[in-house]
């Protein structure tokens, strides 16, 4: 019996290794935070805000299509609408500041986050989506608050400050849904 148990215990790590090789490991890859210059300089701010909004819109379109949870789909639809508005407001403020920013594109990290959502199994989608939304909105909140306080262009500071309460609401709702609390999307 002692020899059998000894062999069994020695083989457990190997059995575990083989079992985990074939199991899907689903990371939560949040998009990267914006560069430090985006918190004070107009051009990097506009680019970072545009990337943030584009990520939110793209990831939320996937959520509307893939989520099985009506609350997550409502949240995602709200994000699409709100981030389209913040994009328009940022572009308008950039124009007032004399800037003509190119269309926003996803950086490598945000593209990886989107790819992770695209390939996520349905059973894991909501967890991954919300797991990305919290740090993405934390980064967006930091960006808008910082630029709203220290940014170099007044029209963009005003736009950033208007985005802050919207991003706070999104962040609070995502955190509540992550913990299973009902999130109210009313008034957003």
C-alpha dist (Å) from residue 141 to 27, 59, 83, 106: 23, 18, 13, 18
Coil, helix or strand at residue 72: helix
Coil, helix or strand at residue 132: helix
Query: Please, which pLDDT band fits residue 182 given cuts at 50, 70 and 90?
Result: low
Q: Residue 106 and residue 113: Cα distance in Å, rounded?
A: 10
Walk me through the domains of the chain, giving residue ranges and CATH numbers: 34-178 (1.20.1260.10)
pLDDT, tens only, 57-85? 999 999 999 999 999 999 999 999 999 99
Q: Residue 54 and residue 17: Cα distance in Å, rounded?
A: 39
pLDDT, tens only, 102-112? 999 999 999 99
State the Cα angle at 34 between 77 and 162, rounded to 5°.
Answer: 55
Q: Residue 116 and residue 30: Cα distance in Å, rounded?
A: 10
């Amino acid at each position: 019996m002692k020899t059998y148990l000894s062999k069994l215990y020695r083989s457990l790590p190997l059995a575990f290794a083989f079992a985990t090789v074939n199991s899907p490991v689903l990371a939560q890859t949040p998009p990267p935070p914006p560069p430090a210059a985006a918190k004070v300089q107009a051009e990097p701010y506009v680019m970072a805000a545009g990337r943030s909004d584009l990520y939110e819109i793209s990831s939320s379109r996937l959520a509307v299509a893939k989520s099985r949870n009506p609350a997550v789909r409502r949240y995602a639809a709200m994000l699409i609408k709100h981030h389209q508005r913040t994009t328009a407001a940022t572009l308008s403020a950039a124009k007032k500041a004399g800037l003509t920013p190119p269309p926003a594109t996803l950086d490598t990290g945000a593209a990886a986050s989107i790819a992770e959502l695209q390939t996520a199994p349905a059973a894991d989608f909501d967890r991954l989506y919300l797991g990305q939304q919290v740090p993405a909105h934390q980064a967006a909140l930091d960006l808008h608050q910082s630029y709203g306080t220290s940014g170099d262009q007044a029209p963009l500071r005003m736009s950033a400050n208007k985005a802050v309460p919207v991003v706070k609401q999104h962040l609070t709702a995502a955190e509540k849904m992550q913990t299973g609390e009902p999130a109210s999307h009313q008034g957003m």
